[in-house]
């Protein structure tokens, strides 16, 4: 048996106020600082050959490589189908 719940009964978690002003942060500067392989903040058409940010462990690197492989395969399949 299911009881009906009222969403207003749920408590929201406390979120600390962030006093840091981020209006002066620029994504272009972040990209120039942290992106790998001379990638920048600009849009690029096509599949990424490597992750933009450095990966911390081997598991993340494996997932990224696998994702890039499947994305490339999907792109090739789409092009051969004439879509």
DSSP string, 41-71: SS---S--SS-SS--SSHHHHHHHHHHHHHH
Asked whether the beta carbons of 71 and 81 are under 8 A apart, the reply is no
- Is pLDDT of 10 > 70? yes
**Which tens digit of pLDDT belongs to each residue from 50-74?**
778 887 888 887 887 787 777 767 7
- pLDDT averaged over the chain? 76
The maximal CA–CA distance of the chain, rounded, in angstroms, is 58
| Closest alpha carbon to 31 in 45, 54, 52 | 52
Average pLDDT over residues 11-31: 80
Task: Give residue 55's domain range.
Answer: 50-83
Q: Is residue 75 part of a domain?
A: yes
Q: Is residue 43 part of a domain?
A: no
Domain count, the chain: 1
Q: Which two tokens stand for residue 38?
A: 């001379």
Q: Is residue 76 part of a domain?
A: yes
Q: Is residue 77 part of a domain?
A: yes
> Model confidence at 81, in pLDDT bands (50, 70, 90)?
low
Q: Is residue 39 part of a domain?
A: no
Q: Is residue 71 part of a domain?
A: yes
Q: Is residue 81 part of a domain?
A: yes
Q: Is residue 40 part of a domain?
A: no
- Is pLDDT of 31 > 80? yes
- Is pLDDT of 42 > 60? yes
Question: 3-class DSSP state for residue 75?
Answer: helix
The predicted model scores a pTM of: 0.44
């Amino acid at each position: 048996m299911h009881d009906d719940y009222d969403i207003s009964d749920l408590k929201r978690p406390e979120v600390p106020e962030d006093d840091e002003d981020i209006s002066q942060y620029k994504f272009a500067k972040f990209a120039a600082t942290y992106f790998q392989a001379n990638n920048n903040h600009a849009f690029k058409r096509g599949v990424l050959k490597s992750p933009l940010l450095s990966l911390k462990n081997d598991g993340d690197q494996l997932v990224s490589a696998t994702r890039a492989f499947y994305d490339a395969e999907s792109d090739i399949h789409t092009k051969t189908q004439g879509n």
